[in-house]
Amino acid sequence: MKPVSTAAQMRELDRRIIEDLGLPGIALMEIASRGVAEAIRDHHHEQAARGVIVVCGGGNNGGDGYGAARWLAAWGYPVRVMHLAEISTGDAGIMRAVCAEMGVPEARSLDDCGLLVDAIFGTGLSRAVGGRFLDVIGDLAAHPAEVVAVDIPSGLSADTGAVLGACAPAVTTVTFGRLKAGLLAEPGAELCGAIEVVDIGLQASDPSGLQIAEVPEEGDLRWPARSASAHKKSSGHLLVVAGSRAMSGAAILACRGALAAGVGLVSLLTPRGARLAGLPPEVMVIDGGAGDVLTMPDLDLSTFTGLAVGPGLGGGHPLSAGLLASLVRVWSDGIPAVFDADALVAASGSPTGPRVITPHAGEAARLLSITPEAVQADRFAAATQLASDRTALLKGRNTLVATPGRLTSVNPTGGPTLATGGSGDVLCGVIGALLARGVPAHEAAQLAAWVHGAAADRLADRRSHGWVASDIADAIAESIGEL
């Protein structure tokens, strides 16, 4: 797992290793600055060979920039530094003085070059950029050369990913020690480009685990295996409560996602008016009334081991009072369940069994009584609020999975291929299948997000456009095979 920390946590990690362990801060700066230079050499050699301008602020981020400039100059790259402060003190002052002693020339403006290095502000920025800094960041953004950011793009909040006045988009961000939350939330995730983490030895000072989240890697996740003696009933029985005449496809896609995830049996409760021509023949259908929207029958839910509730239920309209009341009762039942889409309005009160909710930003805003913009402004905080007594999967770039008492999980798979109608219905079915198979709620959401996104990535590798949700469902099984 890759740890994710806040700016305050990073400062504390630095303090522990410098003050408690006695390692001079300039030693950390030297490791960090060499990491920046190596990333430039390894990934941007051609651009750097045409000339590099390193724009340095007056603090430690500027010190990292001066150090990187020194390494690049030693390796023969034509490099210049642009000073945004009259003097630099402390470790940054030492790095600046060494650059001067080496004869690294000064750049007085952002003129012709092949690569720009943004070393103006680090993770400590807490207010809007102004004055000359605002102008220089604007010049960086407007310059034709690509930008490599040191630790974090200047002007970006390290905790929320919000832009504090101005921010120049980077093609690569070389960050130190750990991922920062702001690099994983929009618009930070879009502005930081590719992320490279340089290990500067902070783990030596972190016995208590100062982090707010983690990013799983492929080797961290394990798909639940079936035993040699498994049979259909021992592999779970999922009830999918979904669909309407207007949105029959949502129910079908949820069922396809569930089957791909290996649940033993799938039953679909849907109104008789739903059009089910594309429903897999393996799915058993339960009559949910004669109309075009569901009428909840009196079912013995104890015959099922998991529930997936919501895709397409309202047919584009608010749920009827009767159906809403029925779903509220289902929510309070002890059977593991995922509530999605139209059923999210029924996810109220303290459940007695494992629960997962799967809102996108707009749905999360309604649940939290805030605006979608407020959700996106601090996705980590929103996910934590949504997970008051349940697991919340907050959809979007770098989907978040939050559960009380657990580190928030940041899903690294998926991309624009998922931005198609019905992909969330497939995800709902996969989560439901895992719950029905006995996987705990947090792990079910985490695994489902991974394989769902990995399926989209697999398709995108073949071509960039034209995929639909049913294609994602078809690719789920191969993504599971990777785990």
Q: What is the tens place of the pLDDT at every residue in 95-126? A: 999 999 999 999 999 999 999 999 999 999 98
Distance, CA of 291 to CA of 270 (rounded, Å): 10
Task: Tell whether the model's pLDDT for residue 316 goes beyond 90.
Answer: no
Say which residues have a Cβ less than 8 Å from residue 168's Cβ, sequence separation at least 6: 118, 137, 138, 140, 141, 147, 149, 153, 154, 155
> pLDDT class for 232, splitting at 50, 70, 90?
confident
Residues found in the chain: 483
10 Å Cβ neighbour count for 167?
27
Percent of the chain with pLDDT over 90: 91
Q: What is the DSSP string of 177-241?
A: SSEEGGGTSTTHHHHS-EEEEE--SGGGG-TT---SEEE--GGG--PPPPPTT--TTTT-EEEEE
pTM for the structure as a whole: 0.94
Task: Tell whether the model's pLDDT for residue 233 goes beyond 80.
Answer: no
Q: What is the tens place of the pLDDT at every residue in 408-465? A: 999 999 999 999 999 999 999 999 999 999 999 999 999 999 999 999 999 999 998 9
Q: What is the tens place of the pLDDT at every residue in 155-193? A: 999 999 999 999 999 999 999 999 999 999 999 999 999
Distance, CA of 384 to CA of 407 (rounded, Å): 10
Q: How far is CA 36 from CA 64, 148, 305, in A?
A: 8, 9, 51
Distance, CA of 404 to CA of 238 (rounded, Å): 25
The H or E element that residue 15 is part of is: helix 7-15
Task: Tell whether the model's pLDDT for residue 208 goes beyond 80.
Answer: no
> pLDDT class for 482, splitting at 50, 70, 90?
confident
- Collapsed DSSP state (helix, strand, coil) of residue 380: helix
